[in-house]
Amino acid sequence: MSKMVACVNITITTILLVLNFITLVHAAPKVPCYFIFGDSLLDNGNNNNLNTTAKANYPPYGIDFPNGPTGRFTNGRNMADILAELLGFDHYIPPFASASGGNILQGVNYASGSAGIRNETGSHLGNRISLDYQLQNHQVTISHLVDLIGNKDSANLHLNKCLYIVGIGSNDYINNYLMPKYYPTNHLYTPSQYASMLIEQYAQQLKTLYEDGARKIALFGLPRIGCIPQELQKHNTTTCVNSTNEAIQLFNEKLKSLVDELNTNFTKAKFTYINMYSISSIMGTLSFLNKPCCNISKTTAGGQCVPEKTPCLLRAVHVFWDNFHPTENANIIAIMRAYDAFLPSDTYPMDISHLITSVSSL
Ligand SMILES: *[C@@H]1O[C@H](CO)[C@@H](O)[C@H](O)[C@H]1NC(C)=O
Ligand SMILES: *[C@@H]1O[C@H](CO)[C@@H](O)[C@H](O)[C@H]1NC(C)=O
Ligand SMILES: *[C@@H]1O[C@H](CO)[C@@H](O)[C@H](O)[C@H]1NC(C)=O
Ligand SMILES: *[C@@H]1O[C@H](CO)[C@@H](O)[C@H](O)[C@H]1NC(C)=O
Ligand SMILES: *[C@@H]1O[C@H](CO)[C@@H](O)[C@H](O)[C@H]1NC(C)=O
Ligand SMILES: *[C@@H]1O[C@H](CO)[C@@H](O)[C@H](O)[C@H]1NC(C)=O
């Protein structure tokens, strides 16, 4: 057993060393623009000036990021950053909170830690920008784009060519349904009813995004939330919490069906589903990797890193950075499989590299 673990360890380290050679390149990007909606897995600073404990602009967050702590909820780059590199951008997409001027032509990141599909999700931690508000912020960007580009039709043609990624829903479980102390949803709905309700609201939000010109849209399913350190601690267990993973899978199945429905109804657009559940299957199978890398706060920002404490040294072999969020290396593996599927089950019906070339002659 220990030999196998050592072997897996070496393989993972080797893969990660290779992956670390991805760097920002200086050629035309594969799409002219790229917009990001979601939660802390994609947030790159939108919560920094909000009154919330769900923020990550302090050390040791960012210890492996060139600019140090920026509000990214990990040690280095998040999935949105690495995808920007894979797409050939020479910069990361700026957060809405500080994006300005011509920068917005190549995209904006609206993601906000603790945010959800539902407006109230995450409210016990403080303020956050729920998906409805992220879509309102996108309207603000669009009005600036119209000014920059000169007219509405040209701005719309530009928006048609962009990639849109949306990674939302985890907090509607972690910071809502699984927290009956603060939110009533657990008492009011069965897991199946709750998942249906979330998907119904999400469908409306995605329609809004489509009406705002989005045509290439990747939707991230939920990872194995039953296997994150926070859940294991809450349930005092070392193996994944099945009831949580079952609730998550109901959401994912409905999201995958929604992708079919959206592709049928909106023939001018392409939607694809990223199977984060299977991509995150390494969690739980290698439980020694599931220990968080930083020292975890038990007080206000429970589950996040304690400020200023030195984190673990072998960050490359950890899946989890804090009690909720993957390390940079786990982010690299996940987003590479979303971009260029490793297994057929990784994406449905296509990976992001095919999504961006799928909608012709726009
Ligand atoms: C921030 O939120 C907390 C808790 O909701 C509240 O007590 C505090 O007054 C708020 N601070 C500011 C500056 O709004
Ligand atoms: C959430 O907030 C947005 C923005 O204020 C609002 O338009 C929307 O109706 C709200 N959604 C719900 C379900 O209350
Ligand atoms: C957690 O589980 C362990 C081992 O099963 C047990 O010894 C311990 O008392 C439990 N702790 C709590 C707080 O329930
Ligand atoms: C949890 O799920 C796993 C995998 O599906 C299964 O093998 C295990 O028996 C389940 N445990 C419980 C307590 O239901
Ligand atoms: C797709 O179209 C069908 C038939 O008009 C409609 O019933 C359904 O609600 C639509 N679904 C979505 C997600 O737009
Ligand atoms: C976190 O810090 C406390 C206090 O310094 C220490 O006792 C504990 O061992 C640390 N935990 C980890 C995982 O480093």
Residue closest via CA to ligand 1's atom 9 equals 51
Say how many C-beta atoms besides its own lie within 10 A of residue 317's C-beta.
Answer: 18
Residue closest via CA to ligand 2's atom 8 equals 132
Once rounded to an integer, what is the mean pLDDT over residues 19-40?
A: 78
Task: Tokens 């380290």: give the residue.
Answer: 13
Identify the helix (H) or strand (E) that includes residue 216: strand 216-220
Residues 6+ apart with CB under 8 A from 18: none
Instruction: Please state which of the ranges 20-24, 139-143, 353-357 shows the lowest mean pLDDT.
Output: 20-24
With a cut of 80, say whether residue 3 has pLDDT above it.
no
Ligand 6: which atom is nearest the Cα of residue 292?
13
132 CB within 6 A, ligand 2? yes
233 CB within 6 A, ligand 6? no
pLDDT score recorded for residue 362: 47
pLDDT score recorded for residue 360: 65
List the 216-220 sheet strands across, edge first.
Answer: 34-38, 163-167, 216-220, 270-274, 347-348
With a cut of 80, say whether residue 233 has pLDDT above it.
yes
pLDDT score recorded for residue 7: 34
Once rounded to an integer, what is the mean pLDDT over residues 19-34?
A: 71
Once rounded to an integer, what is the mean pLDDT over residues 257-272?
A: 97
Tell which CATH architecture fits domain 27-355.
Answer: 3-Layer(aba) Sandwich (3.40)
pLDDT score recorded for residue 288: 57
Active site (catalytic) residues: 40, 322, 325
Residue closest via CA to ligand 1's atom 13 equals 51
Q: Which ligand is nearest to the CA of 293?
A: 6
Confidence of residue 18 (pLDDT cuts 50, 70, 90): very low
Q: Report the chain's mean pLDDT, rounded to a whole number.
A: 91
User: For the chain, what percent of residues have pLDDT higher than 90?
Assistant: 83
Pocket test for ligand 5, best of 205, 256, 261 (most atoms within 8 A of CB): 261
Residue closest via CA to ligand 6's atom 13 equals 295
Q: Which long-range contacts (CB under 8 A, 24 or more apart) does 19-25 make?
A: 19/329, 19/332, 19/333, 19/336, 20/332, 22/82, 22/85, 22/86, 22/332, 23/85, 24/84, 24/85, 24/89, 24/90, 24/91, 25/85, 25/88, 25/90
Confidence of residue 263 (pLDDT cuts 50, 70, 90): very high
pLDDT score recorded for residue 289: 63
**CA dist., res. 362 & res. 357, Å (int):** 11
CA distances from 178 to 24, 134, 239, 322 (A): 39, 24, 18, 19
pLDDT score recorded for residue 282: 66
Once rounded to an integer, what is the mean pLDDT over residues 37-45?
A: 98
pLDDT score recorded for residue 316: 86
Identify the helix (H) or strand (E) that includes residue 220: strand 216-220
Q: What is the pLDDT of residues 274-290, one digit of tens each?
A: 999 999 886 555 555 67
Q: What is the pLDDT of residues 323-341, one digit of tens each?
A: 999 999 999 999 999 999 9
Ligand 2: which atom is nearest the Cα of residue 201?
13
Residue of 227, 340, 345 lying closest to 282 (CA atoms): 227
Confidence of residue 13 (pLDDT cuts 50, 70, 90): very low
Q: Which residues contact ligand 5 via a Cβ below 6 A?
A: 203, 261-262, 265
| Separation of CA 318 from chain center | 18
pLDDT score recorded for residue 211: 98
Once rounded to an integer, what is the mean pLDDT over residues 53-60?
A: 97
Once rounded to an integer, what is the mean pLDDT over residues 100-122?
A: 96
The CA 254 to ligand 4 mean position distance, Å, reads 22
The CA 78 to ligand 1 mean position distance, Å, reads 28
pLDDT score recorded for residue 27: 73
pLDDT score recorded for residue 308: 94
126 CB within 6 A, ligand 1? yes
The CA 289 to ligand 6 mean position distance, Å, reads 18
Once rounded to an integer, what is the mean pLDDT over residues 73-93?
A: 97
**CA dist., res. 70 & res. 109, Å (int):** 13
pLDDT score recorded for residue 139: 98
Residue 252 in tokens: 């994912």
Q: What is the pLDDT of residues 66-78, one digit of tens each?
A: 999 999 999 999 9
Q: What is the pLDDT of residues 164-214, one digit of tens each?
A: 999 999 999 999 999 999 999 999 999 999 999 999 999 999 999 999 999
Q: Are the beta carbons of 58 and 69 closer than 8 angstroms?
A: yes
**CA dist., res. 1 & res. 53, Å (int):** 41
pLDDT score recorded for residue 302: 80
User: For the chain, what percent of residues have pLDDT higher than 70?
Assistant: 89
Q: Are the beta carbons of 73 and 324 closer than 8 angstroms?
A: yes
pLDDT score recorded for residue 168: 98
Global pTM value: 0.91
The CA 242 to ligand 4 mean position distance, Å, reads 6
Q: What is the pLDDT of residues 119-157, one digit of tens each?
A: 999 999 999 999 999 999 999 999 999 999 999 999 999
The CA 176 to ligand 1 mean position distance, Å, reads 20
Residue closest via CA to ligand 6's atom 12 equals 295
Better pLDDT: 16 or 255: 255
